[in-house]
Amino acid sequence: MGSSSNGVAPKVDKGVDYANYFCTYAFLYHQKEMLSDRVRMDAYYNAIFENKHHFIGKAVLDVGTGSGILAIWSAQAGARKVYAVEATKMAEHARQLVKTNGLEHVVEVIEGSMEDITLPEKVDVIISEWMGYFLLRESMFDSVICARERWLNPNGVMYPSHARIWVAPIHSGLVDQKKIDYDRAMDDWYHFVNETQTFYGVDMSSLSKPFTEEQRKYYLETSLWNNLHPNQVIGKPAVIMEIDCLTSSVNDILSLQANISSSITAENSRFCGFGGWFDVHFRGRKESPAKHEIELTTAPSEDFGTHWGQQVFLLHPSIRVSQGDEMTINFSMYRSKENHRLLEVEFGCELRQSSGKSLPSFSKKFHIE
Amino acid sequence: MGSSSNGVAPKVDKGVDYANYFCTYAFLYHQKEMLSDRVRMDAYYNAIFENKHHFIGKAVLDVGTGSGILAIWSAQAGARKVYAVEATKMAEHARQLVKTNGLEHVVEVIEGSMEDITLPEKVDVIISEWMGYFLLRESMFDSVICARERWLNPNGVMYPSHARIWVAPIHSGLVDQKKIDYDRAMDDWYHFVNETQTFYGVDMSSLSKPFTEEQRKYYLETSLWNNLHPNQVIGKPAVIMEIDCLTSSVNDILSLQANISSSITAENSRFCGFGGWFDVHFRGRKESPAKHEIELTTAPSEDFGTHWGQQVFLLHPSIRVSQGDEMTINFSMYRSKENHRLLEVEFGCELRQSSGKSLPSFSKKFHIE
């Protein structure tokens, strides 16, 4: 227990990890997409400038600074020194941006991975925008924990300070579309098997089973990015994980088990699966609270969508539900063996209708890719 | 210069290479796409079954067997033994397919990279479908050369035996579309720079130059996959490289320089850039020729398109040309420093109008990604 990351995370080949993951963040286009997310930008901007007391005269560490925006804001809010760490070549652009904004005497951009670099001092604030899809995809919080263990002063503050993952039953037309796509892919396959036998004398039928598995995974067993409309949420959202960024360890986020319940709130609807999202809060810490607590939520919203959207986990077939039906969900999530930045989740589900009748329980696994 | 590969190719991190490259080929969906390419399939099928004398009683090596189709055909054509080498997990499917088709006594599937594995004997035929976009993208021919140097009998035969790369001046509406896309991306950027200054107090203008370069590269300086209609080819195609698969070395294909000329054949057209493609031939070798020579071409075709399509290199702005205009092209190509499987090309171009007037020469670089 405790907050040491005691070597549980598996060894990662850095070159492979870079090829698979970091290269995306080396494009300014991608940085621009994130910098154009007004919900994300407003939350961090307000968190910093409405809580200047955390920054004035302080040392700040920005983990994964990207183009450097959080480091620059921290400096503008009065930080004495900001260390802005970035693993990709984006570090060069960040350095340029710091200079153009006249802050090179405060912000020091360090190109390297958090796990490797060394700072000349401990810091009072660690700020980072580390959240991936469904919060934990990308596993970047590992690097934030590493930074905290090594470089945060005993009374230091985490920005954000808390994070939560949510799920809720949803309605979605995608459930039909994905089934149609899958059926079409399989029709194509059987046509292909016939043609290959007829024209080229080779029997491909033994690949039908692995092909089916591959296509099922692709179309039916992988979560989707989606911007849900709030009225697609047909039941009460529930929290499946809470993270205190000041104390949680890599162990705490390596896997996750939760038993939650949700009641259907929509009248006569189709339960098509689950939507998942996260929120984070900027509350400072008990000994040094925020003056203005800020929330950044990626919940379904008509007007305040984010680039994170929601993750959608579809059930085939969907299930008729009515207001007052009660759902018990046994949720689990762990990292993919093949790539520690991806996730596997499982929903075990029981549904008791408001009439008192229970439907057969079922469980379904998904990949978050 | 001899046919030894004498270590000129730079060292490659295998894990990174796998992440970047091989993983695509581990999907049956991708294999199916290639197996559904009738031009590709017919060429190899006919090359084998119309030249059974090369296979009957012989030992064959299939480099990068994928689902195993070429190995199975080789066995069906009468090979005594076929070694089918595959670097990805697709090897398991190939093994299954060999079994279903009753050929496990002939075809041995070996999972591993060509550079690492060992065969119990030398072979009489090396067969491989190694061709990437514009022939050399993916650099898979390196592995075929490695196989040939180590495992081909002195009188052995290469399938295919020869390869050529072609370019021709083309007309394409994409030249306008890409310019529009680029202009829109830049408009968005300047809007973004203004908003970030106004709402968040950060001056992003110093990133305008690198962002412009990134977007220029993406929209204007990277070749495109396209299935050209033959009437989009407005000048005489020219060969820029010929490979004798029996003798060429890695040195020979590491880079390429060619001076070619082409005359415009279309009346009053717009010269929008170049199309590039390849063909390969199955001719056996001088001492053991094919009975029926087979050609596989990926040239623009109304009815016989391939999954390779053509690579299109667009010029901005396009140039008015007329029948009889003469073009001199100084072509060069080399491997990308960042990723040896990708290519960089440069077209140096002079245009002499049929009136006798010469336009200013120009040169343009492209990435093949």
Structure token digits, residue B156: 């052995």
Cis-peptide into A210, omega within 30 deg? no
B15 touches chain A (CB under 8 A): yes
The yes-or-no answer on residue A129 being catalytic is yes
A206 touches chain B (CB under 8 A): yes
pLDDT value at position B139?
85
CB contact under 8 A, B206 and A35: no
What does the pLDDT look like over B83-99, one tens digit per residue? 999 999 999 999 999 99
- Whether residue B68 has pLDDT greater than 70: yes
B19 touches chain A (CB under 8 A): yes
With a CB cutoff of 8 Å and minimum separation 6, the contacts of B333 are B136, B255, B256, B343, B344, B345, B346
Query: How far, in Å, CA of B132 to CA of B113, rounded?
Result: 18
Q: Do B44 and B70 touch, CB atoms closer than 8 A? A: yes
A33 touches chain B (CB under 8 A): no
Query: How far, in Å, CA of A237 to CA of A298, rounded?
Result: 13
Smallest CA–CA distance, residue B16 to chain A, in Å, is: 4
Query: How far, in Å, CA of B103 to CA of B81, rounded?
Result: 10
Which residues of A fall within a CB distance of 8 Å from B19? Answer: 16, 19-20
Structure token digits, residue B168: 């021709």
Which residues of B fall within a CB distance of 8 Å from A28? Answer: 207, 210-211, 214
Query: How far, in Å, CA of B357 to CA of B351, rounded?
Result: 9
Which residues of A fall within a CB distance of 8 Å from B41? Answer: 199-200
What does the pLDDT look like over B153-176, one tens digit per residue? 999 999 999 999 999 999 999 999
b/e map B170-204, b = 16+ CB within 10 Å: bbbebbeebbeebeebbeebeebbeebeeebebeb
With a CB cutoff of 8 Å and minimum separation 6, the contacts of B191 are none
3-class secondary structure per residue, chain B: CCCCCCCCCCCCCHHHHHHHCHHHHHCHHHHHHHHCCHHHHHHHHHHHHCCHHHCCCCEEEEECCCCCHHHHHHHHCCCCEEEEEECCCHHHHHHHHHHHCCCCCCEEEEECCCCCCCCCCCEEEEECCCCECCECCCCCHHHHHHHHHHHEEEEEEEECCEEEEEEEEECCCHHHHHHHHHHHHHHHHHHHHHHHHHHHCCCCHHHHHHHHHHHHHHHHCECEEECCCHHHECECCEEEEEEECCCCCHHHHHEEEEEEEEEECCCCEEEEEEEEEEEEEEEEECCEEEEEEEEEECCCCCCCCCCCCEEEEEEEEEEEECCCCEEEEEEEEEECCCCCCCEEEEEEEEEECCCCCECCCEEEEEEEC
CB contact under 8 A, B15 and A15: yes
Residue among B144, B118, B114 at smallest CA distance from B131? B144
- Whether residue B141 has pLDDT greater than 80: yes
**ipTM for the whole complex:** 0.89
Smallest CA–CA distance, residue B31 to chain A, in Å, is: 10
CB contact under 8 A, B200 and A69: yes
Q: How many residues does chain A have?
A: 369
B34 touches chain A (CB under 8 A): no
Q: How many residues does chain B have?
A: 369
Q: Do A288 and A298 touch, CB atoms closer than 8 A? A: no
- The amino acid that residue A257 corresponds to is Q
Q: Do B168 and B236 touch, CB atoms closer than 8 A? A: yes
**Chain B CA closest to residue A49:** B200
Q: Do B65 and B74 touch, CB atoms closer than 8 A? A: no
Smallest CA–CA distance, residue A242 to chain B, in Å, is: 30
Structure token digits, residue A353: 């209708």
Residue among A69, A100, A205 minimizing CB distance to B206: A100
What pLDDT tens digit does each residue of chain A (369 aa) get? 333 333 344 456 666 666 666 666 778 999 999 999 999 999 999 999 999 999 999 999 999 999 999 999 999 999 999 999 999 999 999 999 999 999 999 999 999 999 999 999 999 999 999 999 999 998 899 999 999 999 999 999 999 999 999 999 999 999 999 999 999 999 999 999 999 999 999 999 999 999 999 999 999 999 999 999 999 999 999 999 999 999 999 999 999 999 999 999 999 999 999 999 999 999 999 999 999 999 999 999 999 999 999 999 999 999 999 999 999 999 999 998 888 888 999 999 999 998 899 999 999 999 999
At residue B223, what are phi and psi to the nearest 5 degrees?
-70, 155
Q: Do B253 and B218 touch, CB atoms closer than 8 A? A: no
* pLDDT band per the 50, 70, 90 thresholds, residue B138: confident
Query: What are the CA-CA distances from residue A148 to residues A124, B196, B366 (Å)?
Result: 10, 30, 44
A204 touches chain B (CB under 8 A): yes
Catalytic residue among B138, B242, B287, B326: B138
Domains of chain B: 14-129 (3.40.50.150), 165-172+224-368 (2.70.160.11)
CB contact under 8 A, A210 and B28: yes
Smallest CA–CA distance, residue A101 to chain B, in Å, is: 6
Catalytic residue among B111, B121, B129, B350: B129
- Whether residue B307 has pLDDT greater than 60: yes
Q: Considering just the CA atoms, what is the radius of gyration of chain A in Å? A: 23
User: Can you tell me the mean pLDDT for B290-313?
Assistant: 97
CB contact under 8 A, B206 and A99: yes
Chain centroid, CA B172 distance in Å: 21
What does the pLDDT look like over B182-233, one tens digit per residue? 999 999 999 999 999 999 999 999 999 999 999 999 999 999 999 999 999 9
A40 touches chain B (CB under 8 A): no
